[in-house]
Structure 1
């Protein structure tokens, strides 16, 4: 979150080109009070989640005062800010610098508030020397002192150069629990120049037809030792402008990528988990030992057959799905079905009668 005060009054989210310049270009957004209300609502409705807030800027947006004078907060303003952050429920209180947060296991945070949810607050703003930059007794920590964080933003205007730059940086940030395991935020969206942004609009650029190549480039470069902690992008799942109802009308590319990373690829990193994903086959014994476990033994080597079932979101495993079963597809498209081939000026095709789904039995993979 990039947070500022406005003319010394309330705190707001903001996005500007340079928060300490004489005339910052950009705008403010939601109030901090509104953001905190949303966080508290989420943790009350979704217990067991961990929210990490990395707070930047932390200056004043008083345009009547030149940069270097009125931009920076005094101790009273900083304390007022921390007091407002204290209205966030389920903060992680009582942590120290003994082990960086990115090196701690998730249950360190999960066990803090008796399963109610946890909010980890880290500050990384423009506070001057002598101004308190944290309040650990309230669960507010100075981010750079407590967590190693890699937040690379290639700032490329087109998909091809963005993918190349992000992949190159990601591959260079190889996961090694002994030497390198930063909390890695990967920025997978184009950053247009001011003229392009004003001509096309940020929402149009966020759903460029070439964007799927970002996912292809990303996933082909990932491995059990190379993967991001957070994938950040604009307009998650939108396919067409102004056509995005959550969740049934959104594209599933990023959701599938995230699920695949968590369940399959990341789980192969022994520093993350010693248990292997059930889709992984057992390694075959060497040819000379396939008949027995060891010379002179009569015990045959066990090798699991390929897994062709379904693992549902709640953990249920169906090892043998029913014949002609296709997850996410229906045999009959019902009267009133709306297709996603519409435009900003109207809906897509609407069926006037029940029709057989011609793709029901098609092999899609």
Structure 2
């Protein structure tokens, strides 16, 4: 009996020691306070000029979401006018600059920058090549073969614009990069890390005008793919690309000669859904959206997915006859459609604002299949209900929102405006920002600019690349937005929207922010980030991937440790 009591005591003591090692302590923080050199935005004058295609200067942004410093070991360049690279501290990013010789003829300018991940044997290289004098002939190879992550060639999306590399993970957890997406259910993957956090302490990628991945012309207006389409991939692929917050604008389309005849519910993007004459177009049908949600949740159970639903109004096919406010029949038809969404979460506790509930409250619903939550902006719902709690459709004020839209065209003004808002959001402790913050990291070009140059070009050349050096500089373990809403998620090259052509910067930004950056805030997290925790570090990644609290391997190791501790004094004495 005494032997078993001794064994139990040793096991209990070992468990306490392990938990003490794993507790989050401010003195253990690895997030760097070092500031990297300021980067450069793509000049608007260049973006709007035909000379864009003949640019000679480009950038490679490296984002470090690991507890290891990325150390520049050496560089080599041939016939480059500028080749400026440097270290990337933990939790930071750096925009590196290259400038080719500005020649129109064929050229063989080249350069390489070689990095080592401090404290590990992992290395990566950035290899620049130029075969001609225009943007399409210049590229960078992100070579992560020294990390067993392969390599990929990227063309620059425009002159004086960036290609981005995001790396997260750690030596013990394993490293991951933005060269490709991983499993669709990333929240379930890191469930153990985020399950106890209130929703206001999460970071979620989001998409703007999410249903506008195509132009379907269900309303007749002057909206086209240049000035009205905001995404290159549908809702299903946006989910796979990491998005968990969706800006969904839904309206009913009505026969021109009979307003009572509803021709179907569609996503819309118009300048003013209540105006007599509205400008814009339709995107995916609501039926398509529902089918895509269900496909994703069937393949990836256990996620928390928010849809912020706006408009909720009717328009005639000819968009010059004013709005049609929904009556009971249209509301009921809408509800009937929405009941087709699987894994809705009806009858949630509305006495607690949703941002204050732990993530597990939602992710564990539906027998662990997760939650698809619809938040309705009911400003256009006049004579019908503004929510249907029993069907899992909630008024938007059930979550405390702060939604910051810069309403600016120029990235050099837009980015500082958003960043200042990031820095004002203090997380954890007595001064915790109690709301859920939406950051709209997107340009709002005027009608002429959007029609001439296209929303896609603004997103992939100017706005999205700036997120990974300028936006990252404004985030820390104490300050970050809950949602970063973007246009054209995953699209790195114009019109290259097939899945294998997408890039995964936003996907890994979401995972790395939750695993590492937020994990370094001890007022938010009781335990260390799994990237740095002491308890059996070699198992940390597998623990998160399996989504289990305690795995059998850890139990066996603890039992073996206890056995070896007791054997000399206990077993041999018997």
Tell me if TM exceeds 0.5.
yes
User: What is the match of residue 367 of structure 2?
Assistant: 114
Q: Indicate the SS of the match to 2:488.
A: coil
In 2, are the aligned partners of 1:266 and 1:272 still within 8 Å (CA)? Answer: yes
In 2, are the aligned partners of 1:46 and 1:117 still within 8 Å (CA)? Answer: no
| Aligned mates of 2:441, 2:396 — CA distance in 1 | 23
Task: Using the TM superposition, name which of 74-83 and 24-33 deviates more.
Answer: 74-83
User: What is the match of residue 166 of structure 1?
Assistant: 418
Q: Indicate the SS of the match to 1:157.
A: coil
Q: Which has the higher contact order (CA 8 A, sep 6+)?
A: 2
| Aligned mates of 2:497, 2:299 — CA distance in 1 | 23
User: What is the match of residue 124 of structure 1?
Assistant: 377
Alpha-carbon RMSD across the aligned residues, in angstroms, is 2.7
| Aligned mates of 1:158, 1:210 — CA distance in 2 | 9
User: Structure 2 vs 1, CA of residues 311 and 112 (structure 1 numbering), >3 Å: closer, same or farther?
Assistant: closer
User: Structure 2 vs 1, CA of residues 80 and 315 (structure 1 numbering), >3 Å: closer, same or farther?
Assistant: closer
User: What is the match of residue 252 of structure 2?
Assistant: 5
Q: Indicate the SS of the match to 1:6.
A: strand
> Could you tell me which of 242, 263, 269 is aligned with 2:521?
269
| Aligned mates of 1:98, 1:216 — CA distance in 2 | 40
User: What is the match of residue 345 of structure 1?
Assistant: none
Question: Is residue 477 of structure 2 the alignment partner of residue 220 of structure 1?
Answer: no
| Aligned mates of 2:319, 2:456 — CA distance in 1 | 32
> Could you tell me which of 297, 302, 320 is aligned with 1:43?
297
User: Structure 2 vs 1, CA of residues 245 and 150 (structure 1 numbering), >3 Å: closer, same or farther?
Assistant: same
User: What is the match of residue 15 of structure 1?
Assistant: 269
User: What is the match of residue 72 of structure 1?
Assistant: 325
In 1, are the aligned partners of 2:313 and 2:381 still within 8 Å (CA)? Answer: no
Q: Indicate the SS of the match to 2:309.
A: strand
User: What is the match of residue 187 of structure 1?
Assistant: 440
Superposition TM-score, scaled by structure 1 size: 0.71
| Aligned mates of 1:92, 1:271 — CA distance in 2 | 29
Unaligned runs of 5+ in 2: 1-247, 255-260, 546-574
Q: How many residues align?
A: 288
The C-alpha deviation readout for 1:41-84, integer Å capped at 9, x for no partner, is 111111111211111100111257854xx521122221221121
Q: Indicate the SS of the match to 2:515.
A: helix
User: What is the match of residue 148 of structure 1?
Assistant: 400
User: What is the match of residue 258 of structure 1?
Assistant: 510
| Aligned mates of 1:194, 1:310 — CA distance in 2 | 53
Q: Residue 93 of structure 1: CA displacement?
A: 1.4
In 1, are the aligned partners of 2:427 and 2:524 still within 8 Å (CA)? Answer: no
| Aligned mates of 2:542, 2:460 — CA distance in 1 | 27
User: Structure 2 vs 1, CA of residues 136 and 46 (structure 1 numbering), >3 Å: closer, same or farther?
Assistant: same
Question: Is residue 233 of structure 2 the alignment partner of residue 233 of structure 1?
Answer: no
Q: Indicate the SS of the match to 1:113.
A: helix
> Could you tell me which of 299, 308, 312 is aligned with 1:54?
308
User: What is the match of residue 31 of structure 1?
Assistant: 285
Question: Is residue 334 of structure 2 the alignment partner of residue 81 of structure 1?
Answer: yes
| Aligned mates of 1:278, 1:312 — CA distance in 2 | 7
The C-alpha deviation readout for 1:105-151, integer Å capped at 9, x for no partner, is 0111122111223211111133344421111111111111x111222
User: What is the match of residue 336 of structure 1?
Assistant: none
Superposition TM-score, scaled by structure 2 size: 0.46
More strand by share: 2
Q: Indicate the SS of the match to 2:423.
A: helix
Unaligned runs of 5+ in 1: 283-303, 317-365
Q: Residue 176 of structure 1: CA displacement?
A: 4.5
- 1:313-324 to structure 2, matched below 5 A, reads 315=544
More helix by share: 2
In 2, are the aligned partners of 1:36 and 1:88 still within 8 Å (CA)? Answer: yes
